Amino acid sequence: MQNTRSPQKDIPDKLYFRIGEVSKIVGLPTYVLRFWETEFPRIRPKRTSSGQRLYTRGDIELVLKIKNLLYEKKFTIQGARQHLSASAGNKKTPANQLLQELHSELKSIRDRLS
């Protein structure tokens, strides 16, 4: 099983990051980050008075987790959203968490086959 932890050492030690910086750190275009804001309610960067997005370290770690679910584990957006909400609401034993992940992956596969 792959390590699902984000590479925290690659995130610079500062409070806020602009979208261009986040794009370089996570290796995704800015339009993908903006789209994911609409699909994943937990991604909510603060806004400056001029409307610029300011991401926190926690936001970046969440983006990295979503990227892993979508690109590495091949979840659908809906499956990743369900997985994140289930893992945020439930602190389970490792065995139960593994079952939850398998359940989400199977649902994702079923959705792709439908």
What are the tens digits of pLDDT across the range 17-56? 999 999 999 999 999 999 999 999 899 999 999 999 999 9
Q: According to the model, what pLDDT value does residue 112 have? A: 85
pLDDT value of residue 5: 44
Contact by Cβ (8 Å): 53, 47: yes
| Axis-axis angle for helices 19-26, 30-39 (nearest 10) | 100
The model's pTM is 0.68
Residue 114 has a pLDDT of: 80
Is residue 1 over pLDDT 50?
no
pLDDT at 12: 87
Closest CA to 80 of 113, 48, 114, 112: 112
